[in-house]
Amino acid sequence: MKFNASIKNQFCYGIDAVIMNPSKMKDSLIVIFAIVILTIFSGCSKQEINREVNGLEVKRPNILLIVADDMGYTDIGAFGGEIDTPNIDMLASSGLSFSNFHTAPMCAVTRAMLLSGNDNHIAGMGSQDLNSQAFGYEGHLTDRIVPLPALLQKAGYHTSMVGKWHLGTAPDHLPANKGFAQSFIIPEGVANHYSDKGWLARDPVSTYLENNEPVKWKEGDYSTDVYTSKIIEYIDNNKDSDKPFFAFAAYTSPHWPLQVDEAYWKKYEGKYRDGYEVLRQNRFTSLKKLGLIAESAELPDTHESVKPWSTLSADEKLIEERKMELYAGMVDNLDVNIGRIVDYLKQTNQFENTLIVFMSDNGAAANDFYYHPYFAEFLNANYTDAYAEMGKKDSFISYGPQWAEAGSAPFRYFKGYTTQGGITSPMLISGAMVKHKGTVTKTFTSLLDIAPTFYEYAQIDYPESFLGKEVYPLKGASMASLLEQKADFLHDANYVFAMEHRHNIVVRKGDWKLVNETKPFDPQNFALYNLAEDAGEQNNLKGEYPLVYQDMLAHWQTYKLESQVQFPTPSGVSK
């Protein structure tokens, strides 16, 4: 008689529930049945089904997924940054760092892929913030996939999340209906860090929900601090329940508006006096020293929207310095809060059996909506950009493409693009099951590989159908063998990764990359790069390698058909 791990696990938890509640055993037949089942599943413990790692049986781990919002590739110390991030760096030194990890170019799109293990169109987020009846553009997680927390919850995990949801606002689309037992979230993608003051005329007050019910934000409380306290509370609620946990900390930091307490940004006062071009070069040099990029790597050309530092006035330079000081303070505060979670896990003896994943959702953000024609009227009337108020709850500041380029070094461009600067993020994985300690892997990985990894450690077989409906298979692969030093790479040279968002496309196969960054969409604008030799995407090779180019175009067509890619227009989507 053979049972898969998830079925066996449900039996174990069911038997535990009966034994822990003797009053529910109303007659001897139930007792006899329980004894028989316990005999069959004598390997069941209260908390887990064991799996074998390096010859030893280990528990199903707790899983902690931490996602920073719009954090640049080089912002943390472990990836060449000057910002003080000892707690995040500790995860790097105690685990495996991924220097070739790929996200989607925008927040909601990444979240859809992350929580589904599938393409953003199949998951329902073909275009961020576009809600449509068309396949792939529904604006919420669809029934074509199984939400990651739903499957973990079904397998006996206690599931919780805090922070940014950004995957639909209707009741059926919120976390409580996607597998999270507990949640404290902002449904939308942007929020004031100190209050519920909105940033759009149509939503002048931001909504916060706890377990799908509206709650009031306490004025003056800081977002990252609140979300950390909540996720610790949720984990603590579960610590005596004999269930492993899955906790998703989806922070809104360091996403604009740049707001943080003075105690954090003051640490960086004067550090950015030399400007964004110098910071970009310094971080690029640090990456080489750390071995994260090749010695032969070169910085790509600067985005056309970036003004040279030397052309700014003295007052403009002061404002620019303060922007980066605030941003650094937000990353610093984020690190402190991650330290709070780690300390809690250690104090409660849960740290050793917790798989921790830290990542950013996309490249650094260049947006500056305070001056954008569509947003400016509301923002100018309700916020200020005055120098003396920068960083406070009524200020609305972004750091723009100039600092985003420094955060995206050594790559080209930033959030919104499918160039490397928009879709390459640092990822760190730590935990007792991770045999690497302080090492870096350059093997290609993506968002699609995270769900399969969690499923393997949770001993879950991904189903062919869910809630009576057929679902698409996972697109990634488990990283367990890589983490446990049983493999040196994850995907071979024939593996194809592809995605599209708002006319921006990427197709990866080995070292080759096909990319489009031009609107309106026209395949004639596709460019071909060899990232092993040109990580900055400066040398378009489609004319020199026509066979490779045709092969990559064929993969694009295959992907386009499978994912039913369409293209957004002001009135909806079109083929």
DSSP 364: -
107 included as an active-site residue: yes
Residues 432 and 509 in one domain: no
Distances from the Cα of 212 to the Cα of 27, 193, 358, 417, 562, angstroms: 40, 20, 26, 33, 34
Closest CA to 414 of 484, 504, 332, 541: 504
556 and 507 Cβ atoms separated by less than 8 Å: yes
DSSP-assigned states of every residue in 2-20: ---HHHHHHHHHHHHHHHT
166 included as an active-site residue: yes
Is 6 part of a structural domain of the chain?
no
Closest CA to 451 of 441, 466, 461: 461
Alpha-carbon span 20 to 114, nearest angstrom: 36
Residues 264 and 136 in one domain: yes
In the listed set 454, 483, 512, which residue is the last one of a domain according to the structure? 483
Is 197 part of a structural domain of the chain?
yes
pLDDT tens per residue across all 575 residues of the chain: 333 444 444 444 343 333 333 333 344 444 435 434 443 443 333 344 455 554 555 579 999 999 999 999 999 999 999 999 999 999 999 999 999 999 999 999 999 999 999 999 999 999 987 888 899 999 999 999 999 999 999 999 999 999 999 999 999 999 999 999 999 999 999 999 999 999 998 889 999 999 999 999 999 999 999 999 999 999 999 998 889 999 999 999 999 999 999 999 999 999 999 999 999 999 999 999 999 999 999 999 999 999 999 999 999 999 999 999 999 999 999 999 999 999 999 999 999 999 999 999 999 999 999 999 889 999 999 999 999 999 999 999 999 999 999 999 999 999 999 999 999 999 999 999 999 999 999 999 999 999 999 999 999 999 999 999 999 999 999 999 999 999 999 999 999 999 999 999 999 999 999 999 888 888 899 999 999 999 999 999 999 999 999 999 999 999 999 999 988 665 555 55
**Domain containing residue 552: CATH number:** 3.30.1120.10
Q: Quick one: residue 536, left, alpha or beta (phi over 0 = left, psi -120 to 50 = alpha)? A: alpha
182 and 149 Cβ atoms separated by less than 8 Å: no
12, 102, 107, 193: the catalytic one is 107
* Residue 358 CB contacts under 8 Å (≥ 6 apart), including other chains: 66, 67, 68, 88, 91, 338, 426, 427, 428, 429, 430
Residues 179 and 233 in one domain: yes
Tokens of 466: 């869910």
Is 302 part of a structural domain of the chain?
yes
Residues 316 and 413 in one domain: yes
102 and 109 Cβ atoms separated by less than 8 Å: no
Closest CA to 65 of 283, 304, 342, 359: 359
121, 166, 255, 491: the catalytic one is 166
540: containing domain = 496-574
Alpha-carbon span 308 to 194, nearest angstrom: 33
Burial class (CB within 10 angstroms; exposed 0-12, middle 13-18, buried 19+) of 522 = exposed
Residues 532 and 473 in one domain: no
Tokens of 189: 């993608």
Is 3 part of a structural domain of the chain?
no
Burial class (CB within 10 angstroms; exposed 0-12, middle 13-18, buried 19+) of 59 = middle
Is 18 part of a structural domain of the chain?
no
In the listed set 421, 454, 483, which residue is the last one of a domain according to the structure? 483
Residues 374 and 276 in one domain: yes
Residues 410 and 552 in one domain: no
501 and 514 Cβ atoms separated by less than 8 Å: no
Residues 197 and 221 in one domain: yes
Is 25 part of a structural domain of the chain?
no
> How many domains, the chain?
2
Is 420 part of a structural domain of the chain?
yes
Residues 178 and 326 in one domain: yes
In the listed set 483, 506, 540, which residue is the last one of a domain according to the structure? 483
